[in-house]
Structure 1
Amino acid sequence: MPPLGYSVDIEAEGILRAADKCGWDTFQLVGYSGGGASALAFAASHPERLETLGLLEPAWAGNWGWSTAHRALWTKYRALEGLPPEEFMAKFLKLGIRPGVTAGLPVPGGEQPPWMALCPAGIHALLHTFETCELDRHAVARFEKPVYFALGALSNPDDHVEIAERLSGVFPDFRLEVYAGRHHFDPPHRAEPERVAGALKALWDSTETGAAGCGLAGVRGVEG
């Protein structure tokens, strides 16, 4: 169970403590899903400590600039509160992907991966903290280091695609890579680790070469 008072800010401070313990003045930070939200919070609060930021479909990116569709999606997330764990997970998984996608998901009624049993409590904690925490948009805009965003083409366009769109308009140096056939629960770093590793290495190397980022045109309509 998450600790009482859990928040994204607690995660960000944990990152800071870990970096200090390792003696890192600056470092590269990569986060996926809830970890991506924590990485965003860290970039906003401690930008001087990062060389680059890697975002693998962060689960949240602040409470500003939401579209009507994104707000409607969050209403559906809130409606999951109180459901039995198995029903909760089945409906939660469907909300994160494009309609009709089944590839890469646990088979209903079949053997479930070990992480499934631990998910509901953690997801509830994240949903609650996302609604109460603030991500300073101006602080995000002041983060001038390179930012890499890995996006699964089969993820829900009203969720992770919208997050990518919003962040692309805020971060000065935003680099998007879309992975065909992937989604939030069959993520690129799990399915195509070598490709993601290569992209991250290129990101880290770019701090020495000054390579420019790429845009986001047409991503919402891309399917894998």
Structure 2
Amino acid sequence: MEPLRVILLPGSVLPAGPAYGALLQVLGPGVDAIAKDLELYAGDAPPPGWSLDTEGDGVLREADAHGWDTFHLVGYSGGGAAALALAASHPGRLRSLALLEPAWAGNWDWSPAHTELWQRYGQLSALPQDEFMPAFMRLQVKPDAVLPAPPPGPPPPWMAKRPAGINAFLQAFNTYNLDRGRLASFTKPVLFMLGGMSSPDEQGDNAARLARVFSDYRLEVFPGRHHFDPPHRAEPQRVAALLRGHWTRAEALL
């Protein structure tokens, strides 16, 4: 039996290696998984004309380099938004889709609270750099959620790229046309994993709206987790079991 072919996209902060290291260790045999870094951070600044399609094109190049006509796609946060865009633009390349709290899920049917939240995101670019990340993180969780403390010592070199990269994602979310009809035509299994302590105005809204779009959709909630204590890092064994079941079911439906 051929191994399961999987590409995993990280979010806008951690590189792919530390983002998915714990999960990769427990996926078990029979999984050929690639944790792919974002095209956004390939250079010192976001590439000119970068969009969610830039990330999708990078995923397809990675798959082509491995000789994969089709594959399973997993995306967290900003990578989840890029994964949604790829599911809409190239549905035939994907065997399944798994979303770990996508940072954005289209611009339709927003609740008033979701709309207000995105207005607050739009104000982040005016903040000094030392205030940007704490404010960015706090918007994504419930008021009583405990955010992780910064690691000791100086920040890693890659962190200097993150404010510009996050702003590039936020700008893309304002302008990208994620076609709801094309997304609805994606009929392969979709798994959405949600932290119960993440902002209901963002992730709860995303999960509910996507449930009305996809025909084969499953939601899994991790009650004590949130966007910066995400299930794939905090509970990799459970996430691995869910993903393997998701992929196995998708393979059986092909």
TM-score calculated relative to the size of structure 1: 0.88
Partner deviation per Cα, 1:81-124 (whole Å, 9 max, x = no partner) = 1211110111111100001211x42259x657536543211110
The CA RMSD over aligned residues, in Å, is 1.6
**Structure 2 partner of 1:218:** none
Classify the secondary structure of the residue corresponding to 1:131. Answer: helix
Corresponding pairs, count:
208
Please tell me whether the aligned partners of residues 2 and 125 of structure 1 are also in contact (alpha carbons under 8 angstroms).
yes
CA distance in structure 2 between the partners assigned to 1:184 and 1:178 by the alignment: 12
Runs of 4+ in structure 1 deviating by more than 4 angstroms, as ranges, are 110-113
Using a 3 Å threshold, how does the CA distance of structure 1 residues 147 and 112 change in structure 2: closer, same or farther?
A: farther
Once the two structures are TM-superposed, the CA of residue 209 in structure 1 deviates from its matched residue by 4.5
Answer yes or no: is 1:26 the counterpart of 2:56: no
Partner deviation per Cα, 1:45-77 (whole Å, 9 max, x = no partner) = 000111100100010111111111111000100
Please tell me whether the aligned partners of residues 106 and 113 of structure 1 are also in contact (alpha carbons under 8 angstroms).
no
Unaligned runs of 5+ in 2: 1-44
Answer yes or no: is 1:204 the counterpart of 2:238: no
CA distance in structure 1 between the partners assigned to 2:160 and 2:231 by the alignment: 23
Q: Which is worse superposed, 67-76 or 13-22? A: 13-22
**Structure 2 partner of 1:15:** 59
Please tell me whether the aligned partners of residues 101 and 194 of structure 2 are also in contact (alpha carbons under 8 angstroms).
yes
Answer yes or no: is 1:87 the counterpart of 2:128: no
**Structure 2 partner of 1:190:** 233
Residue 43 (structure 1) aligned to one of 87, 97, 101: 87
What is the letter of the counterpart of residue 218 of structure 2?
R
Partner deviation per Cα, 1:24-65 (whole Å, 9 max, x = no partner) = 111100010111011100000000111100100010111111
**Structure 1 partner of 2:202:** 159
Answer yes or no: is 1:172 the counterpart of 2:215: yes
TM-score calculated relative to the size of structure 2: 0.78
**Structure 1 partner of 2:174:** 131
**Structure 1 partner of 2:23:** none
CA distance in structure 2 between the partners assigned to 1:154 and 1:37 by the alignment: 20
**Structure 2 partner of 1:220:** none
Residue 112 (structure 2) aligned to one of 68, 76, 97: 68
Please tell me whether the aligned partners of residues 195 and 226 of structure 2 are also in contact (alpha carbons under 8 angstroms).
yes
What is the letter of the counterpart of residue 52 of structure 2?
V
CA distance in structure 2 between the partners assigned to 1:181 and 1:117 by the alignment: 30
CA distance in structure 1 between the partners assigned to 2:58 and 2:177 by the alignment: 18
**Structure 1 partner of 2:19:** none
CA distance in structure 2 between the partners assigned to 1:197 and 1:39 by the alignment: 19
Please tell me whether the aligned partners of residues 87 and 183 of structure 2 are also in contact (alpha carbons under 8 angstroms).
yes
Unaligned runs of 5+ in 1: 211-224
Once the two structures are TM-superposed, the CA of residue 22 in structure 1 deviates from its matched residue by 1.3
CA distance in structure 1 between the partners assigned to 2:59 and 2:233 by the alignment: 22
User: Percent identical across equivalent pairs?
Assistant: 57
Using a 3 Å threshold, how does the CA distance of structure 1 residues 112 and 73 change in structure 2: closer, same or farther?
A: farther
